[in-house]
Amino acid sequence: MNNDKLAERLRALRKGHQYTQDYVASFLGIVRQTYSHYENGLRTPGYEALYKLAGLYNISVEDLMHLTVELDENEYYDAPCPTRSSRQLASYLDYLNEPMNRKKLQFHSDLEKELLFYFSLLPEEEREELVEIAKIKTQKRNRRNP
């Protein structure tokens, strides 16, 4: 971590929020002079102070530490809501990691595992329909390639 960049970021965040050094120092539970050393690059905040600073400015510690993200002080930063595909992926991974399924699926290909997962999500009637479709496709193929 580059102390000068962190110092610049801390100063910019504080000024952007119109806080005084005294205010930030009291928020951190330290004296103003110690906080001033953070902004001047003479000292580096410890992990507890970094977490408190990230909370104060409503950004993640990663954003505070990486120093690569341009921040808009008027915007609220939070983790994105899970998308449908991320929830579906989580369900699929849970399915694969379930102890009973793990043993049952160990010799299947990835494609077969995925097919079985989605097949298990369908109601019984639609499963039967898919089996019939697979039978028809297999019969057609066997007729073409005797």
Tell me whether residue 26 is in a domain: yes
Give the structural domain span for 140: 84-144
Predicted confidence at residue 35, as pLDDT, reads 95
17 domain residue, yes or no = yes
Please tell me whether residues 62 and 93 are part of one structural domain.
no
Report the pLDDT value the prediction gives residue 109, as an integer from 0 to 100. Answer: 86
Residue 50 lies in a domain: yes
Give the pLDDT score at 83: 60
Number of structural domains in the chain: 2
- Domain assignment present for residue 32? The answer is yes
78 is a domain residue: no
The answer to whether the CB of 24 falls within 8 A of the CB of 14 is yes
96 and 47 in a single domain? The answer is no
List per-residue pLDDT tens for the chain, 146 residues long.
567 888 988 998 999 888 999 999 988 989 999 999 999 989 999 888 888 898 888 888 877 877 555 556 666 555 455 566 667 777 877 888 788 888 888 888 888 888 888 899 999 999 999 999 989 999 988 888 76
61 with 114, same domain? no
Distance from C-alpha of 67 to C-alpha of 146, rounded to nearest angstrom: 65
Q: Is 40 in the same domain as 89? A: no
Flag whether 74 is in a domain: no
Residue with tokens 């104060």: 56
**Distance from C-alpha of 136 to C-alpha of 142, rounded to nearest angstrom:** 10
* Domain co-membership, 45 together with 90: no
- Determine the pLDDT at residue 133: 92
* Helix, strand and coil in the chain, % to nearest 5: 70, 0, 30
Per-residue pLDDT, 84: 62
- pLDDT for res 97: 79
Q: What is the largest CA-CA distance in the chain?
A: 87
Q: What pLDDT score does 55 carry?
A: 86
User: Domain for residue 72, yes or no?
Assistant: no
Whether this prediction's pTM lies above 0.85 is answered by: no
- Would residue 55 count as lying in a domain? yes
40, two tokens = 């001047």
Please give the torsion angle defined by the CA atoms of residues 75, 33, 31 and 73, in that order, rounded to the nearest 10 degrees.
0
- Residues 62, 22, single domain; the answer is yes
What token pair was written down for 73?
């002080």
